[in-house]
Amino acid sequence: MKYYVLFGPPGAGKGTQATAMVEKYNLHHISTGALLRKEIAAGTELGLQAKSLIEKGCLVPDEVVEGMIESEFKSVKGVDGFLLDGFPRTLPQAEALDAILAKNAEEVTATVSIMIPDAMIMERIKGRALKEGRADDASEDVINNRIATYHNQTEPLIEYYRKSEKYHEIDGIGTIEEVRDRIFNVMNKF
């Protein structure tokens, strides 16, 4: 089984590229937001925990998200692997993912990191706000906070995965097809 981590700053095109990656390599896409909604809709114990926290305006703790991901690994059949999108975002989450996979003598296959400069992040997110009517993407302060959070909390994962030689950086500048070709060139190695 292959386990890919899709990585990059907000607006890098992860969602756009994930669909093609899933189709080409027979992967199951695990987006943490979609996973939370699925578990809540199914009324699972983890979903009920998450729903209660979300309704109170609290963040869902790592342990709950990790439990959902582990459950997804165990329950999804008929795929060649998983594409994790939105998890891990911090070093403790990366360590937890390693521990979950180690239980079954598995490990992260590769981290595919789509990188773009901060100015392009701002430009793309503002464009998405106009196109999709997303108010949360319209404020420069909110966008700047998301960029800062990415740099402070998520970017340290680059070194974490680089040390284990699982980090593969993709230039995210270009057409969707150009970026997709770069991603496929990396993934074809696995």
Tens digits of residue pLDDT in 22-60:
999 999 999 887 888 888 899 988 888 888 877 776 667
Tens digits of residue pLDDT in 60-97:
788 888 988 998 999 999 999 999 998 998 899 999 99
Query: Is the Cβ–Cβ distance between 172 and 114 less than 8 Å?
Result: yes
137 pLDDT more than 80: no
Question: How many domains are contained in the chain?
Answer: 1
> Is position 190 within any domain?
no
Residue from 34, 36, 39 nearest 22 by CA: 34
How much is the pTM?
Answer: 0.85
84: CATH: 3.40.50.300
Catalytic residue numbers?
A: 14, 89, 128, 134, 146
Backbone angles phi, psi at 171, to 5 degrees: -70, 115
The range of the structural domain enclosing residue 161 comes to: 2-185
